[in-house]
Amino acid sequence: MSIQLKINGKTRSIDVDPTMPLLWAIRDYIGLTGTKYGCGIAQCGACTVYLQGTPVRSCSIPASAAENIEITTIEGLSENNSHPIQQAWIIEQVPQCGYSNRDKFWRLLRC
Ligand code: FES
């Protein structure tokens, strides 16, 4: 089934099982690998993306639930890591293992 995802300002049409987790649609079909797989059960936040301004765990919602809703991934914040939170992340050397960064980042962005 073909679904349309509005991701980082672009509309992409992909042919997938509509029950596929949004995470795999983003990573494997769109090719945006900044969104990570960690636990797969909505606990770690590695897969967090913004769905119409709200952080969601993309491992736990079907791709079809995000159809025609604006999705923002980490790649969508800036093309050159110039977003103020990205800069703070770099300056303060926040990244540790890298997996829970997405969740922390999106929660901070929402403040
Ligand atoms: S992969 Fe851990 S919350 Fe989605």
Atom of ligand 1 nearest to the CA of 23: 4
At 5 the pLDDT is 97
CATH of residue 97? 3.10.20.30
Contacts of 48 (CB under 8 A, 6+ apart): 35, 55, 56, 57, 58, 102, 103, 105, 106
Q: What is the predicted pLDDT for the residue at 90?
A: 85
Structural domain count, the chain:
1
Ligand 1 atom nearest residue 43's Cα? 3
> With 80 as the cut, is the pLDDT of residue 108 above it?
no
Q: How confident is the model at residue 105 (pLDDT cuts 50, 70, 90)?
A: confident
Q: Which of 22, 27, 39 to mutate to test the pocket of ligand 1 (most atoms within 8 A of CB)?
A: 39
Q: Report the mean per-residue pLDDT for the chain.
A: 90
Query: Does ligand 1 come within 6 angstroms of the Cβ of 37?
Result: yes
Q: Per-residue pLDDT tens for 44-89? A: 989 999 999 899 999 999 999 999 999 999 899 888 888 888 888 8
> Tell me, what's the pLDDT at 51?
95
Domain assignment of residue 72, given as a range: 2-110
